[in-house]
Amino acid sequence: MRAVVLKGVREVAVEDVPDPVIESPTDAIVRITSAAICGSDLHMFAGRTLAPPGLVLGHEPLGVVEEVGSAVEGVRRGDRVVVPFNVSCGVCFNCRRGYTSACLAVESDSAGGAYGYVGMGPYRGAQAEYLRVPFAERNCLKVPGTPGDEWEDDFVLLADVFPTGWYANDLAGVGGESTVAVFGAGPVGLLAAHSAILRSASEIYVVDGIDERLAKAEELGAHPVDFRRGDPVEQILALRRRRTSGRLAPGEEKMMGVMCGIEAVGYQATDWNAPSRENPSVVLEDLIRLLNPTGRIGSVGLYVPNDPGGINPHAKRGEFRLSFGKLWEKGLSLGTGQTPVARYAPMLIDRIVRGASKPSFLVSHRLPLEDAPMAYAKCERRVEGYTKVILAPGMERSR
């Protein structure tokens, strides 16, 4: 079969690799109809992880079941399924509590596994014609419709980015009438803002420095904040002061920030004061400054324990300075980690089917699998128009 293979720094190729086969009675083989490119894939593409050459990439798949193992009863050939990026057994201590992102049975060296990702087990990636799915009854989530229908681009986003946007809101405690700041307007940040709107937040600010991303945030109904125009914390505070002018009781001037902060950038964050440089802790520091006392931060941007391109020896080991004293003094809560997709996807499937959400608003391109090298290069350079790319293995290249 054809698959997207990491060859080296900023080099991927579409190559022939062996077809997957049933290795365990609980396996399924899925024919992939859509597989999205994720920002996490771009970290490996750019050499910012220890991912080895030869890795088949991709962890956001949608497809149709082609074959199942002898022990699989709840999933059948012909079922249309979305596959969460977390590989999970469904029965270990963590899975039973809903933490499928920290499954204890799928990776020998750590808690949690994923398709096509460094340090997350031996599972080949999903940017390919076929994918072997272990523990298929747990990891194949059935969805309605047929390949290529009006839900195709929506359902593929359930493998990672839409549940991650929702999870960020859970970590940050977003509910009705919440005030929210989302730092980062990539796919996860935009879907975090979209989720905050669905959860009836009253004010949503989205920080970024790319025009088309800020425009998307404004289209959603959020307040775009361009960090190129100055300190984003001060910009949000100024907006909040104008909105609350004349309405504050004594002492409430101490609550001019927001209650909920979402970090959707990760360790390659741009330094607002020097945009040509990285500052991996700048977003968390800004959220500590911005949040009101007793507020909550949800950090879903990627951080890794080994970064060959880190800005200093500490960053290369995933170690960052953080104003923990101020975080503690303000009584802030900080939640982090990978999303347990299976906890959220069924509810989000229902929202999509009944028309309450259409997350595919952020999809910019549907391309043949063979166009992956071009798509990776353009996504990594943030070329205008490349917001979210979906690779379609069955799609022919235009001549």
How far is 118 from 300, CA to CA, in rounded Å? 18
Tens digit of each residue's pLDDT (9 = 90 or more) over 121-161: 999 999 999 999 999 999 999 999 999 999 999 999 999 99
| pLDDT in the model for residue 252 | 73
pLDDT value of residue 395: 83
- Asked if residue 169 has pLDDT above 70, the reply is yes
Residue 242 has pLDDT above 90, yes or no: no
Q: Are strands 130-133 and 179-183 parallel, antiparallel or unpaired?
A: unpaired
Bridge partner list, 35: 61, 391
* Model confidence pLDDT, tens digit, residues 259-315: 999 999 999 998 988 888 999 999 999 999 999 999 999 999 999 999 999 999 999
pLDDT at residue 67 in the model: 98
Residue/partner pairs of 227-231 with CB below 8 Å, 24 or more apart: 227/270, 227/272, 228/275, 231/272
Within 8 A by CB and 6+ apart from 336, the residues are 171, 298, 299, 300, 303
Burial class (CB in 10 A: 0-12, 13-18, 19+), 78: exposed
Q: Report CA Rg, the chain.
A: 21
Q: For residue range 324-351, what is the model confidence (pLDDT) as tens digits?
A: 999 999 999 999 999 999 999 999 999 9
pLDDT for residue 244: 74
Coil, strand or helix at 205: strand
Residue ranges per structural domain of the chain = 2-160+340-392, 161-336
3-class secondary-structure state, position 216: helix
Q: Which pLDDT score, from 0 to 100, does residue 399 have?
A: 52
How do beta strands 130-133 and 28-36 pair? antiparallel
Fold of 2-160+340-392: Quinone Oxidoreductase; Chain A, domain 1 (3.90.180)
Amino acid identity, residue 25?
Answer: P
Q: 34: which strand partners? A: 62
Residues 269 and 310: beta-carbon distance below 8 Å:
no
Tokens of 215: 């425009």
pLDDT at 245 over 80: no
Distance between alpha carbon 217 and the CA centroid of its chain, in Å?
17
| pLDDT score recorded for residue 108 | 84
Q: Does domain 161-336 have CATH number 3.40.50.10470?
A: no
- pLDDT mean over 94-119: 94
